[in-house]
Amino acid sequence: MTSLTLPGSIYTTANRCQTRLVPSPCFANDCLDALSHDFTKYVKSGDIWRRAYPKYAGSSAPPWVEMPYDAIRLNVNGNVIFSDLVANVLTPVLEYTVPVGYDGVINQNLQIFVPAAGAAFQDGSTALTWYIGVNQCFVSDYTGMNYHEGSLDSIGRVALGAGIRVFANQIYTYYVQWDGTTALDDVGQVIVGFSGWVYPKHA
Amino acid sequence: MVAKNVLQMVPLGTISMDVMIVTAQQGNGRRQNMLDDYSIPDGWIYNATIRPELPYDYRGVALRRMRALRLSTYKPYTNNTRLFTMAPFTNVQTQIRMFPGTYLWGYWLSLTPTIVDDVVGTVSPHNIYVKVTDNATGIGPFADWVSDQDLGVFPALSDVTGASANTVNFPQLMIEPYVVTDPSLFTIEFSNNGRSTETTRVQLQFLGCVPCDRVIGGVDCNFS
């Protein structure tokens, strides 16, 4: 059996199972250095998103920032009556599944409590807390919201430049939680909504 | 196939792993490049029954893809997020900076219940989700949410009866080395989905290799 040794190394057959002692860079370093160099060059050569979405490569901004011409408007809403809420349990109010073949962005959201005649919701109180979930977890910066966003006339927070980027098959769920102690109007409605757009994923 | 049969007939323990590897390469003609020409006696494989050149499982495939790292003079490197304490239904975001040119080969997610005398099940599988985005590309090692269980945090939960014992874990191998490029920033998000009502400590650690001149300022890294 031929004994193979690393170029320039001090390996012998006898001590191969000992701790590695590689005295100088070898061809393996060259492989790693070259790959790192090439990948860095690739990353710096242009916007990655133009390669990911070649159909929109000529656009001035990514498709989740500027609505592309072939995008589809996303506008979904849901509601639940206050008396249906269970104390300290996240109640799903709206569920939205991103369609197959599409990515998109949610850049506006709506969350309000509309009382009929009874007690209204005070912003900043813990009476109602909203969460936006994605699949089994939550969207960053959209958890534990103790305030309303938007109104029925004007849908809420507008995230200019981007928003919540959504991807095909993801399930977005709007939850609300009642603290169980603050009495609000029993027939009041919790209303939530998403707005944005989805665009074809492939060219 | 010849090599496979030969190896099956040779009792393990009577032959060194180096010989087995060489036999496999020469026997079935799978030698592809210089990386295949050298056996690597390092600490990655203490178990002689694991043969990276016979990729019948994930670990074998992953180790095979690490050959360049194991042959090189790159130095071991770790980087980790700070330890976060997460209440149910919360998210945290953090960012860690690495050296450009780092290659990552594994990661390690640690979950620790905040109650010292915890019992099994209070921190549930699928309780914590992790997303890692490489700022250089906008995608990352795992760009969408990954469950703690997918990261191997709960390999033997049902066997554990001691306090906080379900934090025991081992690094997960990536399928191949992940090259980190400038600006070498990783954005990491954790989400506690409230499946367990308990507050949990989370930390993510990356393991990799880095060119030693990046660490010690470009001086000669010849340690001979």
Distance CA B180, CA A40 (A): 8
Mean pLDDT, chain B, whole residue set: 70
> 3-class DSSP state for residue B109?
strand
**How many angstroms away from the CA of B92 is the closest CA of chain A?**
7
**Cβ of B69 and A28 within 8 Å?**
yes
What is the per-residue pLDDT for B48? 61
Quick: pLDDT tens for A54-93: 889 888 888 988 889 899 999 899 999 999 999 999 999 9
What is the per-residue pLDDT for A76? 93
Q: Chain A partners of B224 at a C-beta cutoff of 8 Å?
A: 10, 21, 23-24
What is the per-residue pLDDT for B7? 40
3-state helix, strand, coil in chain A (%, to 5): 15, 35, 55
**How many angstroms away from the CA of A81 is the closest CA of chain B?**
23
Quick: pLDDT tens for A106-159: 988 899 999 998 899 999 999 999 999 998 889 988 999 999 988 877 665 555
What is the per-residue pLDDT for A191? 95
A77, A110 Cβ separation under 8 angstroms: yes
**Cβ of B68 and A48 within 8 Å?**
no
Between chain A and chain B, how many beta carbons pairs sit less than 8 Å apart?
A: 121
**Higher confidence at residue A149 or residue B34?**
A149
**What pLDDT band is residue B14 in, cutting at 50, 70 and 90?**
very low
Whole-prediction pTM: 0.75
> 3-class DSSP state for residue B217?
coil
Q: Write down the ipTM of this complex.
A: 0.75
Closest CA to B74 of B171, B224, B175, B208: B208
Closest CA to B154 of B126, B194, B117: B126
**How many angstroms away from the CA of B127 is the closest CA of chain A?**
9
- Provide mean pLDDT across the span B28-32: 48
Give A86-112 as a DSSP string: -BT--EEEEEEEPPTTEEEEEEEEEEE
Which residues in chain A (180-199) have CB-CB distances under 8 A to chain B? none
* Residues 6 or more apart whose Cβ sits within 8 Å of residue A80: A91, A93, A176, A189, A190
**Which run of H or E residues covers position B104?**
strand B103-113
Give the number of other CB atoms < 10 A from CB of residue A130: 24
Distance CA A69, CA B125 (A): 43
Closest partner CB to A138 (pick from B137, B193, B211): B193
> 3-class DSSP state for residue A65?
coil
- Provide mean pLDDT across the span B29-42: 60
B87, A129 Cβ separation under 8 angstroms: no
What is the per-residue pLDDT for B12? 41
* Beta-bridge partners for A3: none
Distance CA A94, CA A79 (A): 7
